[in-house]
Amino acid sequence: MTLEGGEGAGKSTQARLLVAALAARGIDAVLTREPGGTPLAEAIRGLLLTEGEGPGLRTEALLFAAARADHVARLIAPSLAEGKWVVCDRFVDSSRAYQGGGSGLPDAEILALHRVGSETLLPELTLLIEVDPEVAIQRTAARDGDASDRIGGRDAAYHARVAAAFNQFATAEPDRFARIDGNGSPEQTHAAIMAAIDAARWGPA
């Protein structure tokens, strides 16, 4: 399953709380993130997020897809094959929202890269953590100060397009997406996530 959302949504905190809660239920879940999760993909993360001119849009999309391909082949697919759950902080929907909605690459092109790189592997459940823009700005300022990464530091209009894209994906695929209100405390958001998992058709009884 994946967690998605914009900057300052609290995904990483929630991913950790979720894996701990699953462990308490006896479920062996692997916690991982994108871009990253394997040594090669973490190296690509460095290329993508370091300040500076950075890659052009198409190169950026290809690098995210390449990092994901390694992550899927070396960590995600083998973990699933062993019967483990995988909790991933960002996945292909982030490429669709940022390189697509934010930057303008057509969704079909991003999905084509995902087909080549990762055989179109999709999560069974995507938790979309939604926060109001003011809350997101406060949280990222508290966390990063002036040190936001190359993509996180893009302007408010860019992040508004990202949020709109996520919203559109959740509307288009209601069976895969669960919308989570992330404006409250970490405990409240965690409770909403566990409720969404229990409500999912395939979720633990």
Site residues, ligand TYD (CB under 6 A): 7, 11-12, 34-35, 49, 64, 90, 94-95, 98-99, 149, 151-152
State the residue number with the nearest CB to ligand TYD.
Answer: 98
Tokens in use for 190? 């965690």
Query: 22 or 117, CB closer to ligand TYD?
Result: 117
- Separation of alpha carbons 96 and 103, rounded Å: 10
- Please give the C-alpha separations between residue 30 and each of 85, 90, 92, 127, 179, in angstroms, as whole numbers: 6, 14, 18, 16, 22
Query: 42 or 124, CB closer to ligand TYD?
Result: 42
Are 76 and 88 within 8 A, CB to CB?
A: yes
Strand (E) or helix (H) holding 181: strand 177-181
Query: 90 or 190, CB closer to ligand TYD?
Result: 90
DSSP symbol at 174: T
Are 193 and 14 within 8 A, CB to CB?
A: yes
Query: 147 or 199, CB closer to ligand TYD?
Result: 147
